[in-house]
Each structure stands twice: as structure tokens, then as C-alpha cells.
Amino acid sequence: MIEVNNLAVKTETQMLLEPLSFCIQKGESIGVLGESGAGKTMLTMALLQLLSSPLQVEGSVIVHDQDLSVLSNEQLRSVRGNTLGYVPQNVQAIFDPYRKIGVQMVETIRAHERTTKREAKRTAMASLREVQLKDEHYHFFPFQLSGGMLQRAGMALVFSLQPELVIADEPTTALDKETKTVILELLLRKQREEGLSILFVSHEIDVIKKMVTRILVLENGKCVERGSVDQLMNEPSSDRLKSFLHYEVVLGRGTMKND
Ligand SMILES: Nc1ncnc2c1ncn2[C@@H]1O[C@H](COP(=O)(O)OP(=O)(O)OP(=O)(O)O)[C@@H](O)[C@H]1O
């Protein structure tokens, strides 16, 4: 459903993301693994057409045979949300701190779909329940929710628009175990039951292994390795991936076959 061809990001003096190509099919999940500064967020922003001068973006992102770079801002707003859902690491940026969660959800739903307020409220409530929040949270301000609850509310907002592909940029980093489980299980269930496609960005190899079938490893803005999870876990070739695996073993998060 999405085809990325030689996507690159640079400034006048520096290459921040070297040309990268990959496809994601319906119902497929791909992981992007890399350390801080590897270019993971740069990739997600370029995919969503959210970068502007002085950053220069080259290459193309094709969604359902449509090149996103030629779309108007209005068309892009529709693609972002209805087709491509974006879950950032810190969803505080999604919500206006001074307005109630439910009001913001209803507004977003109605900006993307022709629906009544009542119907949008029903969708918002159902979405909140899906992430194991309660109906009362609909009436809360963002600051009244804990960080983990707010991250779940962010997921609810994204899923209330029923996107076909979710781009999740470190969606569970620094969250408690319970919230992490709710978010990861929801993504996997949507993939299994609704054919959701997922681009899962993380520096946590144990999480990425559970979530995806194929991985791209980024280092200094360059894809240094790619392949299926099974293949890469058993025969990593880049030093970057080897060090990720070594780190995981040292932390005792799991036993690797190549240990
Ligand atoms: N607006 C910008 N102008 C110039 N360079 C930038 C800009 N934004 C980010 N960078 C640089 O691009 C590189 C990649 O940054 P990016 O935010 O994509 O890393 P990341 O892998 O997402 O890291 P993290 O996990 O810490 O978020 C870094 O060297 C960063 O300093």
C-alpha cells in the first residue's frame, strides 16, 4: 500500500537520510531500528511530507499509486489521518492542553469524515474503550491524565480515523509495562483482524522483534542492514545490529540464538 523510492533528506551541507527504498503491503509490519540520531524521525517526517526548508527531501512516497509530493495541503491532511496514522513518541504534542480530550477527538473525527457530532462522540468513546480508558476520560483535560493514559488517548485518536497504515515512532518508549502491553497488543490485533499495516520505529530490539516481520537498521542516516526478523536475529551482518543484539543479551532481556 505504500512504496518508498529513494527517499532522502539533506541540508545544504549534510545528508541526514541517505536514499532509502522499501514497500509495505496491506497487513504487513516493518520495523525501523536505530540509535538516537540515526534518522528514524527524519524518515517518518519525510514519509508524512512534514519536512520543509531548509531541509530538502528527494525521492517519492507513493500511497495507493498516488505520489504524495504532488498533493495539495488539503489532500495531504486527508491522507494523514485517514490513510496514514501517526503515533509520535510524545503525544502531548497532539493534544491542545486547554481543551478536553473528547472535544478534540470529535473535532478531529469530523474534520476527516462527514458525520454528526453524536456519531463522532460514539466513535471517540469506542476508541477510548479500545485502549482501556473509561468513558469519563472523554471529559478530561490532557493534564488530568497520566503520561501512559495520554499516550493511550493519542492512540485512540489515531485509530478513531481508521487509518490503513500506522507510523508509530517509539510509541512505547519510557512507558510503564501495562501501558506498553495495551498499546502493542492493540496494534497487533488491528493488524491481525483489520489488515492494518505498521511501520514501527524503535531503538528497543526486544519490542521490535515482537511487532514486525521485517526490519531496516539505520545508522547515521543510512540503512546498514535489512531483512526478515528471523534472518537478522540469527545472522546479523552489520556492527550496529550486532551491538544491539549484544546489548540485549547483556541486559538479559532474552536469549538470542547467536548468543
Ligand atoms: N531540522 C533539522 N536540521 C538539521 N538537522 C537535523 C534536523 N532535525 C534533526 N536533525 C539531525 O538529523 C539527524 C537524525 O535525527 P532524527 O531525529 O531523525 O534521529 P532519531 O533516530 O529519530 O533519534 P531519536 O531516537 O533520538 O529521536 C540527527 O543528527 C539530528 O541532529
Reported as a single tens digit per residue, the pLDDT across 86-115 is 998 878 788 999 999 999 999 999 999 999
Contact 169, 91 (CB under 8 A): no
Instruction: Give every residue of the chain whose pLDDT is below 70, as ranges.
Output: 248-259
Cβ(40) – ligand 1 distance below 6 Å: yes
Cα–Cα nearest to 31, from 244, 251, 175: 244
**Confidence (pLDDT) at 168:** 94
Whose C-alpha lies nearest to ligand 1, atom 30?
A: 37
**Confidence (pLDDT) at 89:** 80
Cβ(33) – ligand 1 distance below 6 Å: no
Q: What is the b/e burial string over 211-250, where b = at least 16 CB atoms within 10 angstroms of the residue's CB?
A: bbebbbbbbebbbbbbbebeebbeebeeebbeebbeebee
Q: Which CATH number is 2-96+163-251 given?
A: 3.40.50.300
Q: Which three cell numbers stand for residue 135?
A: 468513558
List the domain boundaries for the chain: 2-96+163-251
**Confidence (pLDDT) at 253:** 54
Contact 166, 85 (CB under 8 A): yes
**Confidence (pLDDT) at 249:** 63
CA distance 233 to 40: 20
**Confidence (pLDDT) at 187:** 95
The model carries a pTM of: 0.90
| ipTM entry | 0.94
Cβ(106) – ligand 1 distance below 6 Å: no
Distance between Cα 220 and ligand 1 center (Å)? 9
Cα–Cα nearest to 120, from 146, 157, 88, 85: 157
Greatest extent of the chain over all pairs of C-alpha atoms, in Å: 57
**Confidence (pLDDT) at 259:** 33
Other beta carbons within 10 angstroms of residue 121's beta carbon come to 18
**Confidence (pLDDT) at 159:** 95
Cα–Cα nearest to 156, from 106, 198, 227: 106
Cβ(234) – ligand 1 distance below 6 Å: no
Cβ(57) – ligand 1 distance below 6 Å: no
Contact 154, 87 (CB under 8 A): yes
